[in-house]
Structure 1
Amino acid sequence: MTQKEKILAFMREDAYKPLLIEELVSVLDIPREEMGDFLSIMDDLEAEGCIIKTKKKKYGATERMGLIVGRFQGNERGFGFVIPDDDTIADLFVPLEEANGAMHNDRVIARYTRAIIEGKRAEGEIIRILKRANETIVGTFENSKYFGFVVADDKKISQDVFIPKDEFNGAKAGQKVIVKVTRWPEARRNPEGKIIEILGHKDDPGTDILSVIKQFNLSEEFPDDVIRQAEGVSDTVQEAEIPKRRDLRHLKIVTIDGEDAKDLDDAVSIEKLDNGNYKLGVHIADVSHYVTENSPLDKEAFKRATSVYLVDRVIPMLPKKLSNGICSLNPQIERLTLSVFMQIDSTGRVVDYEIFDSVIKTKERMTYSNVTKILEDEDPDLLERYKDLIDEFKLMKELALILRQKRIDRGSIDFDFPEAKIILNEMGKPVEIKKYEITISNKIIEEFMLVCNETVAENMFWANSPFVYRVHEDPDPEKIENFNTLLYNLGYHLKGIAKLHPKTLQQLLGKIKGKKEERIISTIMLRSLMKAKYSHENLGHFGLAAKYYCHFTSPIRRYPDLVIHRIIKESIRKGIQPDREKYLKTFVQEAAKQSSEREIAAQEAERETEDLKKAEYMKDQVGEEFEGVISSVTSFGMFVELDNTIEGLVRVSSLEDDYYIYDDKHYSLIGENKKKVYKIGDMLKVKLVRADVATRQIDFIVIDDENGTTEDDTQNFITDTTVEKNKPAKGRTKKPNKPNKIKDKAKAKKRRRK
């Protein structure tokens, strides 16, 4: 046990009471010559939030003092939640007046002000900010005669940043900028800052995506030392490396990916054995051979943790020299791989497997569309072109369906949420948005990667090796109880929720398939489950109903895959030595945490670019009519989803034929007088009245068949929602006496924006 661990363990003992630093030194018998190290350790523990120093300068362990350490998740209305480090503790609600200067994503310490009572969540206040998350903020600059302010693109940052006149640095109204915070917010006082970079006018092509990239701290450029290392990597496999590996160049191995994919990191092979079993080969690019541990490439990959797929570009985890070159399993070219051969019987059970270093040469670079045309449409041209592989494709389909059925039988949950395919022109403008079609070829690769990931995870679990697992923990019983209440109101019921099995949820999804309530039940079910993450512990995967699971198949674009490749290779080559094992146990925890956090950021950035392009696409169609389905109902309106996945809001205030009351038990709006009901799953004819790219907000109004909706009605709605927004900010032309007056003006401006 390290000195740091000993100090913390002592302070967490039941008999411990807060002590002054002098008292701790005496009790722990710290020698004079070790005082410097001791004080440094205490500072580290305090900075990490493990301990806290009281106003009386006494030290105690935070959890022993009833405090919560975690991340502050802001809301555009000013309140927020503390997401505890300890995931066994429920999130803590923090009212606006108790945030005390905390901003979205800040690391904080909070204390309870109200316990959980009568089903209401606990409330608390921020008492200390351990680490600020937003040293720079991306937003839109607005100015007046004497001062300016930046409205953050991230709506979870509720306060505008005040900019003194001499810190504009050339910024003009309407431009997207990066502001460096020079003074953090306090109670009743907005943050202050200075403009450090101008990205371009908000309406200029490309500025929108660039703003998202900057907002989420994504980097398209790699550091010089990373580029130098990448450039030093050979474009071809070195001959000296081939004899060290099993040679699979003679096998019929293919990649199957999307038409636009350039980082091909997985390939497959298949054959039917004499005993009737299938021999499935999954061959994954050996990225770890080129990205060596603790090298510049490795450190940058750890920092990024994942590739990010925005609507118009990919921000890769590794430089293109590797991701699209030597690490990509391009056709008819020798490539180094890590292979898993699995012998699978007719029920989908893996009866034998082996994992080893290999060298391959893929026969073809197949696409999802072509494989589907071969298997489903029997396209004559493709059948002739790929005649040497047709039998293999048929075997792949056969095995994939067996594996899929096995997953379903054990209870694996498959959500059917449509994904959008957004097509842009050369200027980055969206010209078409449609549903992304999932075909048999997608399912083949999905099932093969899933069974491979499970096989590898189980192997390493029983090897008792340090590892990074992909986990999905059992759901919180309270959330499932609330979900069951919703189901009851919609005519369904879950049994055995005290010890819920994923098969129960899978069966429910089967019952609601194709019904009006399918979308809302699926959505609330997903929200009731835990989020998948990376962990050094094998906690199982609830959604897949799998005891063992990891991410092994995409080391080009995911850091956990790269880490476990190294561990697997070390394990099968020479075994992991005790000192090395000790190091790896610590490192896999760090890698799991970093990768989970960056995955969330990547998902948010991807969602943000999708939402803005959807709003931009609809902007040119204001006044047009559409048919959609009610996907969600709230107290302020109902969301209508079009067939192309675009979703817009019909506000309650726009329903003028009656007063509508929100029925929260049945997720519906009911007319007080005429008793007309709007509920989830209903088809509606709507007219688009607003599409705001800045807020990502799309607004519809219902076309009333009885009364009709005129162009005047539409114009009135647009006027009501835009005139207030664009009205000059009252008092903006006067120079404030003190910056803390900005908060009230910012609030007024936000009310106008809404």
Structure 2
Amino acid sequence: MSREDKGNPKTTAAGSGPEPDGRWPGDEEVAGVIASRRGRGMSLAQLVSHFAAESGADRVELRRRLKRTIRRLESGGQIVAGRGKRYFAREASNLVKGRLEVTAGGVATVEPETPGRPPVLIGKAGLRGAMAGDTVLVRVERPRRRARTAGVTEGVVVKILERPQRHVVGRWSVGSGRPTVRPVNRKLAFPILPVGPLPSPEPRPDEFVVVELLSGPDRSRHAQGRVRELLGVLGEPGVEDRVVLRFHDIPEEFPSRAVEESEELPAEVRPGDLRGRWDLRDRPAITIDGITARDFDDAVSARKGRDGSIVVEVHIADVSHFVRPGGALDTAAGERGTSVYLPGRCVPMLPERISNDLCSLREGVDRLTFTVVFEVGPEGEISRWKARPSVIHSRRRCTYAEVAEWLERPEARWPAETRPFARSLGLLAEAADRLGAARRRLGSIDFDLEEPRVILDPEGRVVSIEPGARNRAHRLIEELMVAANQCVAHILMEADQPAIYRVHDVPTPERLEDLRTVVTELGFEFPEPEHPFRPVVLQDLLEQAAGTEHQRLVSSLVLRTLARAVYTPEPRGHFALATAAYLHFTSPIRRYPDLIVHRSLRALVESGGSPLEAGDRALVEAELEKIAQWCSQTERRAEAAERMAMHWKKVLFLKDRVGEVFRGHVAGVTEFGLFVQLDELFVDGLIHITELVDDYYVHDLGRHTLRGERTGRTWRLGDPVEVRLSRVDLDTMQLALVPVDMVPDRKSHPPRRPRGRRKTE
């Protein structure tokens, strides 16, 4: 996360270098003068003459300072050195600045910073040491004839501006020659030669190691690096978790100062802590969580309101009381952005002293909270919302399973232990039902997808994989949390208080048209998209497909059509939830944006609703923009780590089941084959296109299909298929599958001529 370093010199508005002191030109001023010369550029001598004439400054000192400025502007990609020792604005050259992306198949492209410019394809020879994730300058070149025909822009890397990836996780490989490290990331398709002293003991064959990169791949396609950490060999306890966390650069340990800061916090609620809070310790508040949960950051209670309404109280741990801006705890939480949940393990955003103790709403203990109160009307309408710091005393720690069991019976038959909170729980369930019905009427999109639950042994190895059951208790909490988030968003928006919102944008017209093309061919109704497009159209489509053979396909297509939700200070609404106001407030123990929202709400309460001054507001909004972008990034990082860890566990679980037959369905269609998700294990494997031996198949990207040229047989997303597990590749952690009982068609797959010299007669 970008954070202000105390003691550093002031920066310009663009943050690119020292601020001019009146005599010496700043970075932006120099860049502007160079840009004004367009394609003619300027030499260093011309720049010295230009600024000396303007300021009368000493030319020797001016030249020295301009050299430093030019180096900064070059390294930032704002200017480039060109012919005749002249410097040109990047916009005046044929250079493009952007981030290098590399697919697992090795295809490299640069996504330009400038909006509207097409991606630039980079051949292997044009990478010149650049790696996936690097920010680079690319020279656009005349494309080859085939690329011109396809409308592709081609280029070569001329400069690496920034390399965020300094450490690489790989496997120690000992062959007949010099040892190398093979990166786990398949996008880094080069070996790393270790240099410098090795750790003691030395790495074992196939051991995972962390390497500090010293140089990128050279002409021989080798990089160089120093081994910094040994992670262990696959199969040893905890190795997969360590690999995943290092791979995604997720910190495990907290800085000592952050731990010390958490230990210094008072263990009990003190009288002074209650000042300005609602005292809600008489409420029948309960927590409802999973059976293995240890951090309880939300509690709920309810009572009857007027005219058939239900007054709901959502109590959230007041993390902002303990984690103050700028402290060591805040810095550590901000760097993480979110807790990360791996199978059988949580890597928390905050130390356990905070997450599992002081801010955990444990049964029978006074805890500081932030409470949102709102009324739910007979038709599910939400009104009369308000929020304030509070103190509560949880009556019971409940689990989803037991609450779901209670709700299946009349309240009179609930266990005696529920009496202190039974009436409240019954009202909460009724309020949640009302809220859910109201959301569905608005068109809120619900994907009731099964998520796998991995059962581990004490060593962390998978024992079984089961479908994760969602019951009425899960939906109860989800509805109440969504409603609380909406209420806080409305409070902050109505007060014009800067905050971080959770935004889910409307799908693009192109994606909607692609979806419409496919689903109408399947016989479903999908009207031509109108502006503004409403989520109820997609919900209607899902309901049409429910129970049909195309249910999986349609659900997958709708998911792919939707935009990714992000954090931003701009409240643009949440498309999938069909609401104009939404943010994340209810999980400040595990999500940094929620903690920021708590601070915004606290600032509003403490100011009595007074708006910020214009200058203060601009500073706050600029900082919130940085935090929102970083939190969107850390959320994606956590999701990728969780997927990777889950996939590795499943692959290791299947390594001894090669040859077994499984039922599955098509989860992805590509030009090189079909990704199939095994139904009972929720893990994906690949049927390579060479294994589809009954025909010659052609990929239709727009329709997500493979279609046989001779038979017309078509493979689509969601199609059922029976497969045999043919191979488990522990190097790439991939599963190879083959379809069962597929008869080869020799006409579609003529035998290939053996390689080598043609035999002469």
The answer to whether residue 643 in structure 2 is matched with residue 607 in structure 1 is yes
The answer to whether residue 621 in structure 2 is matched with residue 621 in structure 1 is no
State the partner residue of 2:568.
535
Residue pairs, 1:285-684, within 5 angstroms: 285-376=317-408, 383-492=415-524, 494-497=526-529, 499=531, 500-574=533-607, 575=610, 577-578=612-613, 580-641=616-677, 642-656=679-693, 658-662=694-698, 664=700, 667-669=704-706, 678-684=715-721
Conservation of the 8 A alpha-carbon contact between 1:46 and 1:52: yes
Unaligned 5+ segments in structure 1 are: 708-754
Distance 1:520 1:90 in 2: 30
Deviations along 1:289-346, one digit per CA (max 9) or x if unpaired, are: 1111101111111111111111121111110010001011111111111111112322
Q: What letter is aligned with 1:598?
A: T
Distance 2:459 2:239 in 1: 11
- Shifted more, 69-78 versus 453-462: the winner is 69-78
Distance 1:661 1:86, change over 3 A: same
Q: Shift of residue 37 of structure 1? A: 8.4
Distance 1:56 1:178, change over 3 A: farther
Which of 119, 128, 134 is the matching residue for 1:106?
134
The answer to whether residue 204 in structure 2 is matched with residue 172 in structure 1 is yes
Deviations along 1:415-457, one digit per CA (max 9) or x if unpaired, are: 3433111111011110111221111111111111112112212
The answer to whether residue 164 in structure 2 is matched with residue 133 in structure 1 is yes
Q: Shift of residue 141 of structure 1? A: 1.0
State the partner residue of 2:4.
none
Aligned residue-pair number: 706
Residue pairs, 1:80-95, within 5 angstroms: 80-85=108-113, 91-95=119-123
Q: Shift of residue 700 of structure 1? A: 2.5
Distance 1:488 1:254, change over 3 A: same
Conservation of the 8 A alpha-carbon contact between 1:146 and 1:165: no
Distance 1:424 1:527, change over 3 A: same
Q: What letter is aligned with 1:104?
A: A
Distance 2:56 2:508 in 1: 48
State the partner residue of 1:231.
263
State the partner residue of 1:697.
734
Give the match's secondary structure for 2:408.
helix
Q: What letter is aligned with 2:338?
A: T
State the partner residue of 2:758.
none
Distance 2:140 2:504 in 1: 29
Give the match's secondary structure for 2:415.
helix
The answer to whether residue 185 in structure 2 is matched with residue 149 in structure 1 is no
Give the match's secondary structure for 1:497.
coil
Conservation of the 8 A alpha-carbon contact between 2:676 and 2:684: yes
- Shifted more, 471-480 versus 417-426: the winner is 471-480
Conservation of the 8 A alpha-carbon contact between 1:8 and 1:61: no
Give the match's secondary structure for 2:179.
strand
Distance 1:121 1:397 in 2: 56
Structure 1 vs Structure 2: percent identity of aligned residues? Answer: 31
Q: What letter is aligned with 2:573?
A: G
Distance 1:2 1:622, change over 3 A: closer
Give the match's secondary structure for 1:244.
coil
Distance 1:662 1:232, change over 3 A: same
Conservation of the 8 A alpha-carbon contact between 1:413 and 1:543: yes
Q: Shift of residue 272 of structure 1? A: 1.7
Distance 1:225 1:30 in 2: 49
- Shifted more, 140-149 versus 90-99: the winner is 90-99
Distance 1:599 1:687, change over 3 A: same
Distance 1:78 1:247, change over 3 A: same
Conservation of the 8 A alpha-carbon contact between 1:107 and 1:132: yes
Distance 1:353 1:693, change over 3 A: same
The answer to whether residue 223 in structure 2 is matched with residue 191 in structure 1 is yes
Q: Shift of residue 253 of structure 1? A: 1.2
Conservation of the 8 A alpha-carbon contact between 1:147 and 1:163: no
TM-score, normalised via structure 2 length: 0.85
Distance 1:695 1:357, change over 3 A: same
Q: What letter is aligned with 1:652?
A: I
TM-score, normalised via structure 1 length: 0.85
Distance 2:666 2:176 in 1: 46
Distance 2:482 2:510 in 1: 30
Distance 1:213 1:334 in 2: 35
Which of 186, 192, 196 is the matching residue for 1:161?
192
Q: Shift of residue 626 of structure 1? A: 2.2
State the partner residue of 1:215.
247
Distance 1:259 1:553 in 2: 19
Conservation of the 8 A alpha-carbon contact between 2:495 and 2:611: no
Q: Shift of residue 213 of structure 1? A: 1.3
Q: What letter is aligned with 2:555?
A: S
Distance 1:114 1:346, change over 3 A: farther
Conservation of the 8 A alpha-carbon contact between 1:307 and 1:316: yes
Q: What letter is aligned with 2:632?
A: S
Residue pairs, 1:48-59, within 5 angstroms: 48-52=76-80, 54=82
Conservation of the 8 A alpha-carbon contact between 2:285 and 2:421: no
State the partner residue of 1:733.
none
- Shifted more, 30-39 versus 314-323: the winner is 30-39
Distance 1:181 1:655, change over 3 A: same
Q: Shift of residue 560 of structure 1? A: 1.0
Q: Shift of residue 157 of structure 1? A: 1.8
- Shifted more, 409-418 versus 84-93: the winner is 84-93
- Shifted more, 487-496 versus 138-147: the winner is 487-496
- Shifted more, 417-426 versus 25-34: the winner is 25-34
Q: What letter is aligned with 1:126?
A: V
- Shifted more, 251-260 versus 461-470: the winner is 461-470
Q: Shift of residue 557 of structure 1? A: 0.8
Distance 1:432 1:486, change over 3 A: same
Give the match's secondary structure for 2:368.
strand
Deviations along 1:213-248, one digit per CA (max 9) or x if unpaired, are: 111112221111111111101222122211331111
